[in-house]
Amino acid sequence: MLNSAVFNRAMKKWSREGGRLVVISSPTAGGKTTVCAALIKSDSTCVRSVSCTTRRPREGEKDGVDYYFIGEKLFKERIRQGFFLEWAKVHDRYYGTPGRYAEALLRKGKNVILTIDVNGGKQVKKNFKDACLIFLLPPSFKEMLKRIKRRGTESRPAVNLRLSTAEKELKELPAYQYLVINDSLNEAVCRISAIIKAENSKIKHAKEAH
């Protein structure tokens, strides 16, 4: 017969604790930065992970808010120390997600949002089986082109380079769990919030599957 102890044991055994590590990736002009900013503003369970980088701050960027701006020597040392959940070298600059900071937030029950590329996403999934991977796409190819051009990428070769990268990234889509179409910003943010809520309602199985 069911009693309080059995009930509580089942609750404890099958409920999730802590937050989720959420990766949001998109090919060029998918809108991951805008969507992530809106998500964090509207969903108080979500926080953005602040990455380390060796590139120089752009105008208006603040150390510790947009990035941790560090030197290449320190970055490489941290790679060796296993400091990063994932890292990448892009155009001779290093980018990496600090692990311990994210883990502390997760333990506090926060959902930690990483806006990183597909290679970063795959690295994260390898180290964190429990991570939730979301792929963001513009609603159509036409819209994608329009958004690329709106960003000031006008020259044919520059557009073509972005489209080649986008094709490679699109091939990684099956490594992801969720596909969100970024048609309206509101709808995309709502959908990602719903995904995170659902992920946190999943029954804790011994073996994680996606």
| Interface residues toward a copy of itself, by CB under 8 A | 1-4, 6-8, 10-11, 14-15, 27, 135, 137, 140-142, 144, 160, 163-164, 166-167, 170, 173-174, 176-181, 190-191, 193-195, 197-199, 201-203, 205, 209-210
- CA distances to 56, 67, 75, 77, 82 from 72, in Å: 11, 14, 5, 9, 15
Is the CB of 90 or the CB of 198 nearer to a copy of itself? 198
**Rg of the chain on CA atoms, in Å:** 19
DSSP tag of 65: T
Nearer to a copy of itself, 50 or 145 (CB): 145
Pick between residue 35 and residue 52 the one whose CB is nearest to a copy of itself: 35
Q: Which is nearer to a copy of itself, 45 or 119 (CB)?
A: 45
Bridge-partner residues for 47, per DSSP?
A: 112
163-168 long-range Cβ contacts below 8 angstroms, 24+ apart: 163/28, 165/27, 165/28, 166/27, 166/28, 166/29
Torsional class of 18: left (φ above 0), alpha (ψ -120 to 50), beta (otherwise) = left
- For residue 193, give both structure tokens: 């919030």
Minimum distance from CB of 37 to a copy of itself (Å)? 20
201's enclosing H/E stretch is helix 185-201
Please, what is the minimum distance in Å from the beta carbon of residue 172 to a copy of itself?
11
| Cβ at position 161, least distance to a copy of itself in Å | 9
Q: What's the min distance (Å) between Cβ of 5 and a copy of itself?
A: 8
Distance CA 179, CA 182 (A): 10
| Min dist. Cβ of residue 108 to a copy of itself (A) | 20
Q: Which is nearer to a copy of itself, 65 or 203 (CB)?
A: 203
